[in-house]
Structure 1
Amino acid sequence: MNDAGAGRPQPDEQTAGGLDLAPFQGVRYAPERIGDLAAVTSPPYDVVVRPDGLHQLESADPHNIVRLILPQAVSPSARTERAADTLGRWLTDGVLVADPAPGLYVYEQQQGGHLQRGVIGALRLSESAEGIVLPHEDVMAPVVADRAALMRATRANLDPLLLTYRGDAGGGGTAAVIDRAAGREPLLTTTTEDGVCHRLWAVTAAEEIAEVRADLARRQALIADGHHRWATYLRLRAAHRSPSPWDRGLVLLVDTVHYPLRVRAIHRLLHRLPTARALAALEGRFRVRTVSGPLDGAVAALGAAASEGNAFLLAGDGAFHLIDRPDPELLMATVPQDRPAAWRTLDATVLHSTLIDRVWGVPDHPERISYIHDAPATIAKAERDGSTAVLLHPVREEVVRDLARQGVMMPRKSTSFGPKPATGLVLRSLGR
């Protein structure tokens, strides 16, 4: 299978200055081989709430993409082998097929009044990209190793990272190409269970591809979602002699001047820490108040408190507990002082440096801390397990971008930008 623009040098190869996005030969589900496109898609792998969400997706359709991004087996090596075997079988059987020509892909998501459009392509990962693609969160080495093993086994980018950039307010360039594409007949249209309508168009005309590439060559991007996959891309690129398909990685680029993303918090579930014990440890260190439900009302109270300083919402015992106004001396003693003030005052910084590490003494290990995007799911799991749910207020995008430009990493899982691209609409093969 060809993978145009993925690894071999292109005639118009860009080498410096900004983002270098190239066309590729997308691999997509054959409509005649599946009953419902929505039934074979999935959220990104780290958003799937296991095991409930995993089982639901697996049972939705025997060809659901979750069988590739979260393969199930008795050992890590068996999982990656199963994913590679499954992908190979689906390609052989014609469940997944390559588009006839390489291109960029315009991708649209719409839910209610929120519309988001961006362009999917193969982004160059050369070392000159440092300072062009800005991460803002640290990563966990075991997760990177797991994703690297999966990509190496499948020789595929199974889902695009979500990157944001700031385009020109007046439009033109990439924005103009996106608008023109959106006026044409889409390759696919589907509405997923969460009510989001997804549409995809191929951009294959040489002049339109050149227009996008020239525009993006002046831009830098912020990683909105996919830090672990970005680190995986870089690891695999370094492990292969260039030029190779590993020189590029699959990304979705969204211009937030024209299509602002939603920014949500990622919540924490602290296993084996009963809520009563968590609250008792806060005495004299934070102000603690019980606030009335339902959840929307409690979250509104959290937002009001967070506008004045660090604040968190604890749950797990059937009630909501708002904690705020930390002891300044406690913060001085626990939060590293060698970082910018914007980093020191982040809720995620105070949560991990002060509360999790020092006040509660919870080890930062997957067996003790889970990171969950959905607040109701976090609370339900805490109440079921006798644990503590910690809900956070989201960080503004401009704070994230400013810290990233300074090269300052936020605590991992500090933000959730969205809507996230659905996994399974278009894949990038690196050759088999």
Structure 2
Amino acid sequence: MARIYPFRALRYDTSKVKMEDVVTQPYDKITPAMQQAYYDRSKYNLIRVILGKREPDDTDAFAPDAASTPQHNVYTRAAESLTSWRKKAILREEAEPALYGYSQTYTVPGTDEVRERRGFIALGQLYDYADKVVYRHEQTFPKHKSDRLALFKATRAYCEQIYMLYSDPAFTAEKLIFDNGSQADLSITDEYDVVHRVWRLTDPHLINLIVTAMADKKLIIADGHHRYETSVTYMKERAAELGQAAAATTTDEDDESPSNRAEEPHSLLPKPAFPEAAMMMTFVNMDAPGITILPTHRVLFGLKDFNTQAFLARAEEFFEITPVATPDLEPLRTSAGVAFIAVTADGNHLLTAKPEAMAKTLADLGVSPRQAALDVVQLHTIVLERLLDLTHESIAGVENIRYLREATEAVEQVRTGSADIAFLIRPVTLDQLRDISLSGDVMPQKSTDFFPKLLSGLAIYALD
């Protein structure tokens, strides 16, 4: 069962800071230029916690002797910033445990269509994937998880949310949260012109209705695989120290986390057995309108002796190859079956998969039928690994590959010589993601790009 919990969030005091100046995009979507802009925006911007600048004399948090050596690095500075802001009451702890309604109104990139995505922020119990409560949809990068674990341990706080999908055709939570006429207590616009609104929900009866409505749900990670898996690791470490089951739930008042302390009548609300047993999440109903998935294009660089004609000759075994005048996405929108656009310094080509050749090779490689039907799986398995001779390990290590949202940026990197070849692809559909996840399969890294991202800094879950 999916257990969710209200919590006493740390939130910025809007009488002391302007929210637009202190919130950020998720850490893995922040470029160096964005990082600097966030630093310049405010000395209280959350960037100093979630993705601080490295300094020349930083110690190595992962060195063998790190535990016995005084540390000064991005992780210690993150902890110092968070502690300082709490002492100054820049961040204040809420008086009551709450859930938080969260809506995002945005224009779909490349169109004039305006959508609203609705959900709510709460703590979610952490589970192993084997428990079949939480499901992943894509693979992760090992080095990102070690970085997040070091940050979590240093700060003892979760500053960013996991984006979770669930299914509820009756829209139970949405009706309880958004159909009662209440006004949002926060509304801000981010750098992508997305309007974010937050509703603070403290009524114990309402909270328990939502908790009950979510109890039978299966959860699919949309964004935040690295943070989720890192949080599970941290939970297990803490459970071992405490000598108790990780998935236990309590309603007593012994919880050591200030984010979970409660007074009557809130003491009857559910709480995780210990702070690390849960993570802050935003829950979004995938049966509701408003969800947008964008493609993530692949750019390859540093390929040894790359030659366009040699690549196309090899690709003919698996693809019909058609030259296209311009590297735009329109041919993909009208192509039946799996297709990509390959952009090189020598021109642009539409690659349309030959179903028979693909099916046989993918089956021989042990790729499941569900995965074999996906554009991104055929791109990684056939094109990247077989035709371009990249290894699974080099792709996981991000050695010769970049992942970009904007097709124009991918094309520009090829045109300027900083990349050998770019592959423009179509997005995975929500139905494909659901089928892959619930079947226990996973897609390659960066297979989806949900838009817009959840803002970091709207609420913080303090572990102590």
The one-letter code sitting in structure 2 at the alignment partner of 1:47 is K
- Deviations along 1:369-404, one digit per CA (max 9) or x if unpaired, are 122233333333443443022221011111111121
Q: 2:205 aligns with which of 185, 204, 207?
A: 207
User: Which moved further from structure 2: 51-60 or 230-239?
Assistant: 51-60
- Deviation, 1:73, is 1.3
Q: Residue 51 of structure 1 corresponds to which residue in structure 2?
A: 32
Rounded to whole Å, the distance in 2 between the matches of 1:418 and 1:397 is 13
Rounded to whole Å, the distance in 1 between the matches of 2:305 and 2:92 is 50
Size of the aligned set, in residue pairs, is 404
The one-letter code sitting in structure 1 at the alignment partner of 2:281 is V
- Deviation, 1:343, is 0.5
CA gap of 1:56–1:280, structure 2 versus 1, over 3 A, is farther
Any residues of structure 2 matched to 1:155-166 within 5 Å, and which?
155-166=156-167
Q: 1:404 aligns with which of 437, 446, 449?
A: 437
Q: Residue 389 of structure 1 corresponds to which residue in structure 2?
A: 422
Q: Residue 231 of structure 2 corresponds to which residue in structure 1?
A: 233
SS state at 1:119 partner: strand
- Do the aligned partners of 2:122 and 2:281 also contact (CA within 8 Å) in 1? yes
Q: 1:267 aligns with which of 292, 297, 317?
A: 297
- Deviation, 1:144, is 1.1
- Deviation, 1:64, is 2.2
The one-letter code sitting in structure 2 at the alignment partner of 1:124 is Q
- Do the aligned partners of 1:118 and 1:252 also contact (CA within 8 Å) in 2? yes
- Do the aligned partners of 2:115 and 2:290 also contact (CA within 8 Å) in 1? no
Rounded to whole Å, the distance in 1 between the matches of 2:115 and 2:143 is 35
User: Which moved further from structure 2: 36-45 or 398-407?
Assistant: 36-45
Gaps (5+ residues) in structure 1? 1-17
- Do the aligned partners of 1:318 and 1:383 also contact (CA within 8 Å) in 2? no
Matched, 1:302 2:358: no
- Deviation, 1:411, is 1.4
Rounded to whole Å, the distance in 1 between the matches of 2:348 and 2:40 is 34
Q: Residue 100 of structure 2 corresponds to which residue in structure 1?
A: 105
Rounded to whole Å, the distance in 1 between the matches of 2:38 and 2:344 is 27
Rounded to whole Å, the distance in 1 between the matches of 2:427 and 2:29 is 17
Matched, 1:38 2:20: yes
Identical aligned residues as a percent: 26
User: Which moved further from structure 2: 38-47 or 209-218?
Assistant: 38-47
Rounded to whole Å, the distance in 2 between the matches of 1:39 and 1:221 is 32
- Deviation, 1:109, is 0.4
Q: Residue 177 of structure 1 corresponds to which residue in structure 2?
A: 176
Any residues of structure 2 matched to 1:63-74 within 5 Å, and which?
63-74=44-55
Rounded to whole Å, the distance in 2 between the matches of 1:191 and 1:316 is 38
Rounded to whole Å, the distance in 2 between the matches of 1:260 and 1:274 is 43
Rounded to whole Å, the distance in 1 between the matches of 2:346 and 2:90 is 46
Matched, 1:325 2:344: no
Rounded to whole Å, the distance in 1 between the matches of 2:38 and 2:304 is 31
Gaps (5+ residues) in structure 2? 62-72, 108-113, 245-272
Q: 2:2 aligns with which of 4, 15, 19?
A: 19
- Do the aligned partners of 2:339 and 2:352 also contact (CA within 8 Å) in 1? yes
Rounded to whole Å, the distance in 2 between the matches of 1:360 and 1:335 is 20
TM-score by length of 1: 0.86
- Deviation, 1:222, is 1.1
User: Which moved further from structure 2: 131-140 or 317-326?
Assistant: 317-326
Q: 2:41 aligns with which of 60, 72, 79?
A: 60
CA gap of 1:100–1:58, structure 2 versus 1, over 3 A, is same
Q: 1:354 aligns with which of 382, 386, 404?
A: 382
- Deviation, 1:271, is 1.9
CA gap of 1:129–1:168, structure 2 versus 1, over 3 A, is farther
Rounded to whole Å, the distance in 2 between the matches of 1:63 and 1:269 is 35
Q: Residue 257 of structure 1 corresponds to which residue in structure 2?
A: 287
- Do the aligned partners of 2:342 and 2:351 also contact (CA within 8 Å) in 1? yes
Rounded to whole Å, the distance in 2 between the matches of 1:60 and 1:258 is 35
CA root-mean-square deviation: 2.4
Structure index of larger Rg: 2
Matched, 1:119 2:101: no
Rounded to whole Å, the distance in 2 between the matches of 1:278 and 1:57 is 40
CA gap of 1:372–1:412, structure 2 versus 1, over 3 A, is same
- Deviations along 1:94-125, one digit per CA (max 9) or x if unpaired, are 22221221100000100242011101101111
The one-letter code sitting in structure 2 at the alignment partner of 1:147 is R
- Deviations along 1:223-260, one digit per CA (max 9) or x if unpaired, are 11111111111111111024421000110001122234
The one-letter code sitting in structure 2 at the alignment partner of 1:85 is E
CA gap of 1:428–1:406, structure 2 versus 1, over 3 A, is same
Rounded to whole Å, the distance in 1 between the matches of 2:39 and 2:297 is 25
- Do the aligned partners of 1:120 and 1:250 also contact (CA within 8 Å) in 2? yes
- Do the aligned partners of 1:47 and 1:372 also contact (CA within 8 Å) in 2? no
- Do the aligned partners of 2:101 and 2:201 also contact (CA within 8 Å) in 1? yes
Rounded to whole Å, the distance in 2 between the matches of 1:19 and 1:338 is 32
- Do the aligned partners of 2:129 and 2:135 also contact (CA within 8 Å) in 1? no
- Deviations along 1:266-310, one digit per CA (max 9) or x if unpaired, are 2222122499724531223433333244x6xx21212222xx222
Rounded to whole Å, the distance in 1 between the matches of 2:305 and 2:433 is 30
